[in-house]
Amino acid sequence: MKYFSTRGGAERLSFEEAVLAGLAPNGGLYIPEHIPTLPTDWQTKWKSHTFVQLSVEILSLFISETEMSRSELTSIVERSYSTFRHSDITPLKKLDEKTRVLELFHGPTFAFKDVALQFLGNLFEFFLKRRNDKLAPGESPEKLTVVGATSGDTGSAAIYGLRNKANVSIFILHPKGRVSPIQEAQMTTVTDANVHNVAVKGTFDDCQDIVKALFADTKFNATHRLGAVNSINWARILAQTVYYFHSYLSLSSTEAQNFQVQYVVPTGNFGDVLAGYYAKRMGLPMAKLAIATNSNDILARFWKSGAYDKAADSSPGDVAAAAPAHGSSDGKQASSGGVLETLSPAMDILVSSNFERLLWYLSYQSITDGEEASRHRKAGEQLASWMNSVKADGRVQLSKEILESAKRDFVAEKVTDEQTLSTIRSHYQDETTPYIADPHTAVGLAAARRIAPSNDPSIIQVVLSTAHPAKFSEAVSQALSPVSSFNFDRDVLPDEFKGLLEREKRVIDVERPDIDLVKEVIERFVHAEKPVVTGASV
Ligand SMILES: *Cc1c(COP(=O)(O)O)cnc(C)c1O
């Protein structure tokens, strides 16, 4: 299987090359040259598969055997999911006859990004080791320096994915004092030698600007071989397809034959729901995928108007989009223009990077004549011109046909902070199955409830639960503190979080949001780490 850029060009990469590169040089994202189909007897063959076995089956459809043997893949996958606390890895819980939650937060940092990042860390290590094993004596080993910025919620998943990995250093910048204490402690209590938390006196935007500038600095980038682990990395999407299959098979074993499943996905950068789209295209039976956004609703607006538009109020005739955001996010604008701060911060985005991959497929489907290679080329050209419009004008208006084609596979709903809070409360107070949802999951549950009345009666909704409620304690407490029976420490706080704030921490302070100070830090600490040379013994 080869990979190419959504924005066209002749480049064809192996899986390894696509994973190590992250973003394509022409600004596009890597996609597989075709979407593999499932073996005809998959439903019977995979029926009793564990999560790990299922991962191996699905991932091997996208990774050539010549690149990675089945036993190598199995060992990587086994190690990746051995860190999860639940034997099902991603268990499915029944809330009522028609609703399930697919809990994706049983990994080390209590959020769904662990599913992909535990795998990605092991992949990086595997690829680097294989390269370094081939070195001649005296050649210096390949190393990777991963740099990222976090406002709190996703940095820890990257740190836990890469901690203690040979020849990988990780630097995560966070705005000092502006990250919730639990989230800060989740990052800074990881004291492995290759993990560097950098607390920058400044805002999250300052941190992000520094990271962008580091990647744009070709000299620094080449010297340190900077790597990114953000959600556009193909390996992350791929790893996330597995739980769609796993939950479908688990439902099949408990439900009558004639059910349909609708996945409802709290969405930010479109990675999680895109994995569902790949599962659907591979042949996993499912109803339309439901995208749930918070007040940062560029996707919900696209599915109404066909305009992919950063600004909520420039799409004519879209009354809902023109209305101001509700709830506690009212008027709270971040400095970078347009992003609203909401109670579900991991979904606070202006544009969804991975949406570009879906747009490529929509572009491709709109080109019906010509050979495969020419359709690929034209799709890439059309996509590149759309993305140029987004860059230049902040928007692109797609045709009615494209919108219709997007509507065949997806529905989209926007959920406000107010609705998020009331959804957390109502599920907690449910008499038969009380459930404490984190605010991201609650966005999904609220969207599911809104969509359900127009669904076929055979549909069971599976809402992806993307974080443990303890991780977003503020929103959960805001929703539930009015309920007298609620006690956060007793009802929500997992043992793993107890005492976290008191544990030993390691953090590097940077006094100003200044790229040169950050460069100094990276150089100093990378230098202090010893490269791990294996194989080539002198
Ligand atoms: C990252 C994240 C999301 C959004 O996932 P995308 O793949 O970016 O759409 C939702 N919830 C939580 C808790 C997250 O960390």
Which residues lie closer than 8 Å to 461 by C-beta, 6 or more apart?
98, 99, 100, 261, 262, 263, 264, 290, 448, 451, 452, 455
Kindly give the number of the ligand 1 atom that is closest to the alpha carbon of 113. 15
Beta bridge partners of 237: none
Ligand 1 binding pocket mutation candidate from 272, 273, 355 (most atoms within 8 A of CB): 272
- Ligand 1 binding pocket includes 271 (Cβ within 6 Å): yes
Torsion of CA 50, 51, 52, 58, to 10 degrees: 110
3-state secondary structure of 522: helix
Query: Is 234 in contact with 247 (CB distance < 8 Å)?
Result: no
- Ligand 1 binding pocket includes 294 (Cβ within 6 Å): no
With b for 16 or more beta-carbon neighbours within 10 A and e for fewer, the 3-12 pattern comes to: bbbbbbeebe
3-state secondary structure of 411: strand
Cα(138) to ligand 1 centroid in Å equals 43
- Ligand 1 binding pocket includes 346 (Cβ within 6 Å): yes
Cα(2) to ligand 1 centroid in Å equals 27
Beta bridge partners of 396: 308
- Give the pLDDT band of residue 402 (cuts 50, 70, 90): very high
Cα(270) to ligand 1 centroid in Å equals 8
User: Would you state the pLDDT for residue 313?
Assistant: 67
Ligand 1 binding pocket mutation candidate from 90, 234, 297, 347 (most atoms within 8 A of CB): 347
Mean pLDDT of 89-111: 97
Cα(354) to ligand 1 centroid in Å equals 12
- Residues 2, 98, 113, 471: which is the catalytic one? 113
Cα(261) to ligand 1 centroid in Å equals 21
Number of H helices, E strands in the chain: 21, 15
- Give the pLDDT band of residue 531 (cuts 50, 70, 90): low
Retrieve residue 109's tokens: 């940092």
- Give the pLDDT band of residue 317 (cuts 50, 70, 90): very low
Could you read off the pLDDT of 412-437 as tens digits, one per residue? Answer: 999 999 999 999 999 999 999 999 99
- Ligand 1 binding pocket includes 111 (Cβ within 6 Å): yes
- Give the pLDDT band of residue 333 (cuts 50, 70, 90): very low
What percent of the chain clears pLDDT 90, i.e. is strictly above it? 83
In whole numbers, what is the pLDDT of the chain averaged over residues? 92
Could you read off the pLDDT of 454-474 as tens digits, one per residue? Answer: 999 999 999 999 999 999 999
Helix (H) or strand (E) holding 399: none
Retrieve residue 376's tokens: 């690929």
Asked whether residue 521 carries a pLDDT value surpassing 70, the answer given is yes
Could you read off the pLDDT of 335-348 as tens digits, one per residue? Answer: 345 889 999 999 99
Q: Is 176 noted as a catalytic residue in this protein?
A: no
Could you read off the pLDDT of 25-58 as tens digits, one per residue? Answer: 898 999 999 999 999 999 999 999 999 999 999 9
Interaxial angle between packed helices 70-81 and 113-133, expressed in degrees from 0 to 180 and rounded to the nearest 10: 130
Tell me, what amino acid is at 445?
L
The protein residue with its alpha carbon nearest to ligand 1, atom 7, reads 271
Which residues lie closer than 8 Å to 405 by C-beta, 6 or more apart?
362, 365, 366
Query: Is 106 in contact with 466 (CB distance < 8 Å)?
Result: no
- Ligand 1 binding pocket includes 347 (Cβ within 6 Å): yes
User: Would you state the pLDDT for residue 118?
Assistant: 98
Query: Is 21 in contact with 13 (CB distance < 8 Å)?
Result: yes
pTM of the shown model: 0.93
Cα(167) to ligand 1 centroid in Å equals 28
User: Would you state the pLDDT for residue 478?
Assistant: 96
H-helix segments, 294-432? 298-305, 319-322, 355-366, 372-393, 400-409, 417-428
- Give the pLDDT band of residue 365 (cuts 50, 70, 90): very high
- C-beta neighbour count of 322 within 10 angstroms: 13
- Ligand 1 binding pocket includes 153 (Cβ within 6 Å): yes
Cβ-defined contacts of 323-326 (< 8 Å, 24+): 325/295, 325/416, 325/417, 326/295, 326/416, 326/417, 326/418, 326/419
- Ligand 1 binding pocket includes 272 (Cβ within 6 Å): yes
Cα(467) to ligand 1 centroid in Å equals 9
Give the C-alpha separation, 383 to 299, whole Å: 17
3-state secondary structure of 172: strand
User: Would you state the pLDDT for residue 420?
Assistant: 98
Distances in Å between the alpha carbon of 292 and those of 109, 289, 347? 23, 10, 10
The HSE-up count of residue 490 (CA atoms within 13 Å, CB side) is 5
Could you read off the pLDDT of 212-245 as tens digits, one per residue? Answer: 899 889 899 889 989 888 889 999 999 999 999 9
- Ligand 1 binding pocket includes 312 (Cβ within 6 Å): no
Mean pLDDT of 522-538: 69
- Give the pLDDT band of residue 318 (cuts 50, 70, 90): very low
User: Would you state the pLDDT for residue 329?
Assistant: 33
Could you read off the pLDDT of 140-166 as tens digits, one per residue? Answer: 899 999 999 998 878 999 999 999 999
Strand 395-397 relative to strand 307-309, pairing: antiparallel
Of all residues in the chain, what percent are helix, strand and coil, respectively (each to 5)? Answer: 45, 15, 40
Instruction: Write down the residue that tokens 């004639």 correspond to.
Output: 258
